[in-house]
Structure 1
Amino acid sequence: MLPGNPVDILLAKLQQRGGTVTDDTRKAYALLLGGDDDTPLIQQYWQYLVRLVHGDLGVSVTYYPARVSDVIATSLPWTIALVGISTILAASIGVALGMIAGWRPGTWLDSLVPATTLLAAVPYFWLALILVYLLSRVLGWLPGQGGYDVVLDPGWSWEFISSAIYYGILPALTIVIASLGGWLLGMRNMMVSTLSEDYILTARAKGLRERRIQLHYAARNAVLPSIAGFAISLGFVVSGSVVTEQVFSYPGIGSRLLQAVTNNDYALMQGVFLVITLAVLGANLAVDLLYGLIDPRTRAKG
């Protein structure tokens, strides 16, 4: 039902290279991409599920003749490294600052909460463009585009790894700044709410040290909603920040998804969506299992 046909795209590329297009050629390409007008739709879908069980996600139109699984395998580590580390840093810093701000409301740190919340409402692409202009164009501190120095061969050498880290600082900074406010505000509000509970008053009446009350009583209970949100955030790490990766021309899964949509590459889109779905489900399952260790109230009683 969508406009455009991936078979026509491949045939156009073949004609540009001087190839001859016939009816047999069209049928061969249609079979290669997993679709055929002579085969019922339900049978095509069953064949797709059978190939999916064997790890065959089809052939990518955008990167033809590369297979979808190979395209995802090469781009996924870039997104996990960039967005994953950035999300962990933003959550850790935001939760720590929110704990401090909520423990002592009215301090100078508490007054910064509205500013960080405002940054959380700023669109990723606008913040990315501002940082590229200031830190790359004006000051020249960091590269504005790419994932590594193109003169280097990708590998596990320190030269390549250091180049990838250097090129990833600016997009990572964008993600951290844009998402820090949400973690800080959520943890701060939960800390303020937790401090009014009876067990905090009881702990103080018992004469426990303030540091122990802050960490083991207040923060441990206040952080539970943030952990649930962190699970969802980690799941969506796989999808990457599509706009941010596009602004920085970063070779992650978000850029691949955008190119797949542009080129009607349905096989690559389906593969990316499948990986995103599995990542979200896996992250939520892991956190549900971890909840029993963090919150004793959720453990089954014998």
Structure 2
Amino acid sequence: MRYLVTGGAGFAGSHIVLALLDAGHDVVVLDNLSTGHRQAVPSGVKLYEVDLLDAAATSAIVAQGPWDGVLHFAALSLVGDSMRDPFHYLRQNYLTALNLVQSCVEHKVRKLVFSSTAALFGGPERSDPVPATAPIQPESPYGESKFMIERVLFWADAVYGLRSACLRYFNAAGSDPCGRAGEDHRPETHLIPLTIDAMLGRRPALKVFGTDYPTRDGSCIRDYIHVTDLADAHIRALGQIDDRSVTYNIGNGQGYSTLEVIQSVERISGRKVPWEAAPRRAGDPATLVADSSTLRKETGWTPHFDTLDRIVETALIWREKHPTGYGI
């Protein structure tokens, strides 16, 4: 099969590229490298440095099919930034996706897998674990932009028959177990690499935002999904959308607290993590855990990296071997 991956130089996208290559498929990457890394694209994979905001350039790349599917990962993804600059986030994420989807329709692409988010869910009525059928209540422009794209895909299916899979991630983490790719955000905002960097002395003491939540140790609880398991779910989702569109939540289904992440890094590394308590951040729910039962039932997917320690171990190995990330 032949696939086009947008955002394939980023964290999740680069791991999906590896999974597709491992499965014997041909892959082409489209990425403007605003947050991705050229070094994350495997040797031999064609990279088009194109901005999806450029509708003509996007269409020209999609026209180079036929494609057995398009996987869309390119997006701005920082919740805090979206609150500071909401129009930029809404415009960027929505228009880039709209250009891509329209190009797919024009050039007869039949399948699209979309990297969505658990940021769609929120509010006091939310229950855990969260099913894909939970009420949509985005609490940030970032989450809202992803929901807008899901609606674009709904109408692309209803009117043109473009089948899609919307995969709503919880907390992607870890790194390729073969050491070929890892997590290198600039700035880094994800808890596990931040914790590792604090332990390695590469940053100041980790801030734990809130220690008085109604959880087992007072810190927030999140569902961490290994990025390789995430990639496997995307490939399985492609097999589900021959004649229908689907929506799945992706997570381990087990939550771990911030303090438990610190303890895991300490167990795996044998070193202490310096940390300090900080006030709660506005908008952070106490608990956010996925119900992935529909994905498991319909695709047979199950996470192989099903414990926090296994996820942390892969992240630590990559981060120790890449002290400057991809070297930029």
Q: Same fold (TM over 0.5)?
A: no
**Scaled by the length of structure 1, what TM-score is found?**
0.22
**Scaled by the length of structure 2, what TM-score is found?**
0.21
Q: Which structure shows the higher strand fraction?
A: 2
Ranked by relative contact order (alpha carbons within 8 Å, sequence separation 6 or more), the top structure is: 1
Q: Which structure shows the higher helix fraction?
A: 1
Rg (Cα) greater in structure: 1
